[in-house]
A and B are shown apart, each in its own frame.
Chain A
Amino acid sequence: MASEMSTREAYGHALVELGKENENIVVLDADLSRSTMTSFFAAQFPERFFDCGIAEQNMMSIAAGLAASGKTVFASTFAVFASGRCYDQVRMSIAQPRQNVKIVATHGGVTVGEDGFSHHSIEDLALFCSFPGFTVVVPADAIETTQAVRTAANTYGPFYIRLSRPKTPLVYADNYRFVLGKAVTMRGGKDVTIIACGLMVDKALQAVDDLAREGIECRVVNMPTLKPLDEDAIIRAAEETGAILTVEEHLQHGGLGSRVSQVVAKHHPVPMSFLAIKDFYSSSGKGEELLEVHGLTVEGIQKEVRALVERKG
């Protein structure tokens, strides 16, 4: 694999592989197949692909009907439209009856960039984590995406997988094996734990070498499954490093930070800090510029870690 690939592209390829292996897989899209890359599947298996047009609510309920008839359904669109726009359709037709529908949404977060805030998906994780029984996954790179999509196809139940638009570096080698509901320790450390998901895992890994030179040893944990959460890994991090920073490309409420903090508060309270999308809608701009607006950068992480270590004392 190239050293950089968007997670949405990895999804497109993974669907084709799954389509070859499993005739029961059906894919739906809502006039964005070239962006979500379900177009690869559509080209190979036209009879098992349905473009629903620009009608996301209709798509989710169709997905539910297919699933109720025994199909394994993947439904894709941008994260903003998959979440807010279809909330009630997903809730009643997919979440409540625990249907076998995999909602794989691309263009998560603010790295969508220039399209502006109507297209920045900063609330989707909160919305999907709010559904009882939903599995929510945010892969860190293309390799983890391939694995997570495969796992979703082979695991009964409703899934939300959040993917991204830009090409991003790989943080895993080809032989990586994703395990649903399990965190992955990417780097060992005893002073503080950085728990990240999605594209922020790479940023966290980039941040820690400088900190090590300053004498701060960070543990870096990738938390691809937001729901159900790997509580043991969080409790261990609290016990063993005594401070936790969460980093996510999502609002500071309702996503990774909120969820981790509940576990920490209940089981082993330690100082925590949260790097996330701040509580306002941001402008159009380049993806990296927007991450900077919210402090979601290597330097931003380093600054937050230093402050946290100081607080820990």
Chain B
Amino acid sequence: MPSKKRGAKRVNPLASAPKISAEATSSKRASIAKPLSEEEMRMVAKKLRRHIITMTATAGSGHPGGSLSSVEIVTTLFFNVLRHDPKDPRWPERDRFVLSKGHGAPVLYSALAETGYFPVEELLELRKLNSRMQGHTDMATTPGVEMTAGALGQGLSFGIGIALAARLDSRDYRVYVLLGDGECDEGQVWEAAMAAAHYNVDNLVAIVDRNRQQIDGWTYEVMDTEPMAEKWRSFGWHVIEVDGHDLGQILPAFNKAKRMKGKPTAIIAHTIKGKGVSFMENNPDFHGKAPTPEEAEKALKELE
């Protein structure tokens, strides 16, 4: 039980050195789940959407819109692409998923629960005092969370650090960083874009959730980030554009990224904020507002 006063016990995962066994350093493991088929992933995606609705509605606050737009990206990663072991979240050989847009916590927690990092019931603790389901992600609190986030714009740099460490340690894991398109307003994103290309970190993939909305409105009104793909290309990245809700396009993009040598890959995933719930789609009100109990009921009906 977390101590009542201070909050959940927070431990920097590196404060105690991980046990290094042959099993720990081998990149193969019996406990790794088999990749899911597209049809199976479709079912999982729906489950994640239901979790996002239920957990934000229960919390009474949170960010459903940008979580719903990332569902297919996160599903593909956790159920088909990432080499990870939910029973050993700190396995040194694991691929890393860095959620740079930390307000997308609900979609990440849902995927972590569904892959077995912690019980699904714990999702209902979202945003409660001393729970492991913090409003924004914290690597020292929640198993499977790789980065403490919430202040936008820092995840790609963090990902470069992880990717460079792989090179230094001769490990072959890969790093996936999910960014918001509004987040790309931050200068640091482009400092990182420049650095990643400069260091030729080809084990790094940036995914931009291109839902074209931020808080104050459409991205083209608030701060126009077009031409998005050309920007990344001109910074020296290998760029792939996909429909971010089409599972049949997302997986091949990750595979293509794996084959790309000498350059980092940016996947621009065209998505819809609030995807899957009619009254939340493209509705900026649901960026940072939870559905009411009635809205949640309506949403869950649509997601049956």
Contact = CB atoms under 8 A, between A and B. Distances in A.
Interface string B126-170: 011111011110100000000011111100000000000000000
A32 B223 contact: no
A282 B6 contact: yes
Contact of B135 (A52, A54, A85, A116): A116
Contacts of B283: none
Interface stretch (B46-54, B85-93, B181-189, B250-258): B181-189
B214 interface: yes
A289 interface: yes
B187 A284 contact: no
Contacts of A80: 151
A308 B10 CA distance: 33
B188 to A, nearest CB: 8
Interface residues of A, number: 34
A283 B222 contact: no
B187 to A, nearest CB: 6
Contacts of B223: 31, 51-55
A115 B136 contact: yes
A116 B136 contact: yes
Contacts of A118: 102, 136, 148-151
Contact of A32 (B8, B135, B149, B215): B215
Interface in A1-37: 29, 31-35
Contacts of B102: 118
B18 interface: no
Contact of A57 (B7, B8, B187, B214): B187
Contacts of A51: 216, 222-223
Given A53-B185, A53-B222, A293 B135 contact: no
A84 to B, nearest CB: 8
Given A31-B185, A55-B186, A284 B129 contact: yes
Main secondary structure of the interface of A (DSSP, over half): loop
B130 A283 contact: yes
B291 to A, nearest CB: 15
A54 B287 CA distance: 14
B5 interface: yes
Interface in A109-130: 113-119
8 contacts: A31-B216, A54-B183, A54-B186, A57-B187, A58-B187, A119-B135, A280-B7, A284-B133
B276 interface: no
Contacts of B183: 54
Interface string B97-140: 00000100000000000000000000000011111011110100
A271 interface: no
A29 B59 contact: no
Given A116-B127, A284-B127, 6 more contacts: A31-B216, A55-B185, A81-B151, A118-B102, A283-B8, A283-B134
Interface of B: 5-8, 10, 59, 61-62, 102, 127-131, 133-136, 138, 148-153, 182-183, 185-187, 214-216, 222-223
A32 B148 CA distance: 21
Interface string A112-156: 011111110000000000000000000000000000000000000
A57 B8 CA distance: 33
Contacts, number: 99
Contacts of A31: 182, 185, 214-216, 222-223
B215 A280 contact: no
A254 interface: no
Given A51-B223, A54-B152, A54-B186, A116 B138 contact: yes
Quick one: which of B10, B59, B135, B150 has the most chain A CB within 10 A?
A: B135
B7 A29 contact: no
Nearest to B6: A280
Contacts of B7: 280, 282-283, 293
Contacts of A39: 216
A123 to B, nearest CB: 13
A284 B128 contact: yes
A104 B185 CA distance: 21
Contacts of B8: 283
Contacts of A114: 59, 61-62, 127, 135
A285 interface: yes
B5 A29 contact: no
A286 interface: yes
Quick one: which of A115, A119, A284, A290 has the most chain B CB within 10 A?
A: A284
Quick one: which of A32, A114, A117, A289 has the most chain B CB within 10 A?
A: A114
Contacts of B62: 114
Contacts of A113: 61
Interface in A249-300: 280-286, 289-290, 293
Nearest to B285: A34
Contacts of A290: 129
Interface string A73-98: 00000001100010000000000000
A24 to B, nearest CB: 24
